Amino acid sequence: MLPILHALQDEFGYVPQAALPMIAEALNVSRAEVHGVVSFYHDFRDKPAGRHVLKLCRAEACQSMHGEAMAEKLLRDIGLEWGGTTGDGRLTVEATYCLGLCASAPAAMLDGQPIGRLNQEALLDLAHDARHQQEGRR
Amino acid sequence: MARIFVPADAAARAVGADKVASEIQAQAAKRSLRVDIIRTGSRGLFWLEPMIEVETAAGRIAYGPVRPEDVSSLFDAGLLIAAAHPLRLGRPEELSYLKRQTRLTFARCGIVDPLSLEDYRTHGGYRGLQRALSLGPAGIVEEVTKSGLRGRGGAGFPTGIKWKTVADTPAERKYIVCNADEGDSGTFADRMLLEGDPFVLIEGMTIAGIAVGATKGFIYIRSEYPDAIRVTTQAIAIAREAGYLGSKLAGSSHAFDLEVRMGAGAYVCGEETALLESLEGKRGTVRAKPPLPAHKGLFAMPTVINNLISLASVPVILSEGAANYADLGMGRSRGTMPIQIAGNVRHGGLFEAAFGLTLGEIVMDIGGGAASGRHVRAVQAGGPLGAYFPPSLFDTPYDYEAFAARDGLLGHGGLVVFDDSVDMARMARFALEFCAIESCGKCTPCRIGSTRGTEVMDRVMAGHDREANLALLEDLCQTLKFGSLCALGGFTPYPVMSALKHFPEDFGRAPNRDVHAHAAAE
Ligand SMILES: Cc1cc2nc3c(=O)[nH]c(=O)nc-3n(C[C@H](O)[C@H](O)[C@H](O)COP(=O)(O)O)c2cc1C
Ligand code: SF4
Ligand code: FES
Summarize pLDDT for B152-173 with one digit per residue, the tens.
999 999 999 999 999 999 999 9
Q: For residues A19-56, b (16+ Cβ closer than 10 Å) or e, as one string?
A: bbeebbeeeebeeebbeebbebbbbbbeeebbbbbbbb
- Gap from CA of B274 to ligand 1 centroid (Å): 10
Which DSSP helix (H) or strand (E) runs through B422? none
- Indicate the domain borders of chain A: 2-40, 52-132
Torsion of CA B237, B203, B304, B41, to 10 degrees: -80
What percentage of chain B carries pLDDT values higher than 90? 98
ipTM, 2 decimals? 0.96
Domains of chain B: 2-99 (3.40.30.10), 117-325 (3.40.50.11540), 328-419 (3.10.20.600), 424-521 (1.20.1440.230)
**How far is it, in rounded angstroms, from Cα A27 to Cα A137?**
40
Q: Please state the three-class secondary structure of B287-352 as a single string.
A: CCCCCCCCCCCHHHCCEEEEEHHHHHCHHHHHHHCHHHHHCCEECCEECEEEEEEEECCCCCEEEE
**How far is it, in rounded angstroms, from Cα B239 to Cα B234?**
9
Q: Tens digits of per-residue pLDDT, B17-44?
A: 999 999 999 999 999 999 999 999 999 9
For B67-207, strand residue ranges (E) read 88-90, 175-180
Q: Tens digits of per-residue pLDDT, B314-340?
A: 999 999 999 999 999 999 999 999 999
Sign of CA dihedral B151, B483, B285, B294: positive
Confidence class of residue B79 from pLDDT cuts 50, 70 and 90?
very high
Q: A125 pLDDT exceeds 50?
A: yes
Which listed ligand is nearest to B153 at the C-alpha? 1
Name the minimum distance, in Å, from the CA of A66 to any CA of chain B.
9
Average pLDDT on B229-257 reads 98
Q: B201 pLDDT exceeds 60?
A: yes
Pick among B416, B423, B440 to test the A interface (most A CBs inside 10 A): B416
Q: B53 pLDDT exceeds 70?
A: yes
Name the minimum distance, in Å, from the CA of A39 to any CA of chain B.
9
B46, B227, B282 ranked by CB distance to A103: nearest:
B46
Contacts of B416 (CB under 8 A, 6+ apart): A60, A61, A64, A102, B185, B186, B342, B343, B379, B380
Are B342 and A103 a contacting pair at CB < 8 A?
Answer: yes
Q: B520 and chain A: CB distance < 8 Å anywhere?
A: no
In chain B, residues with a C-beta closer than 8 Å to the C-beta of A59 are 185, 384, 434
**How far is it, in rounded angstroms, from Cα B509 to Cα B468?**
12
Q: Tens digits of per-residue pLDDT, B363-374?
A: 999 999 999 999
B188, B190, B261 ranked by CB distance to A103: nearest:
B188
Tell me the count of A-B CB pairs closer than 8 A: 144
Are A2 and B227 a contacting pair at CB < 8 A?
Answer: no
- The residue type found at B256 is F
Q: Tens digits of per-residue pLDDT, B208-231?
A: 999 999 999 999 999 999 999 999
pLDDT of the residue at A133: 81
B13, B284, B422 ranked by CB distance to A40: nearest:
B284
Name the minimum distance, in Å, from the CA of A79 to any CA of chain B.
23
* pTM (2 d.p.): 0.97
pLDDT of the residue at A138: 42
Q: Is the CB of B443 under 6 A from ligand 2?
A: yes
Contacts of A32 (CB under 8 A, 6+ apart): none
pLDDT of the residue at B514: 62
Q: B270 and chain A: CB distance < 8 Å anywhere?
A: no
Q: What homologous superfamily is domain A52-132 in, according to CATH?
A: Glutaredoxin (3.40.30.10)
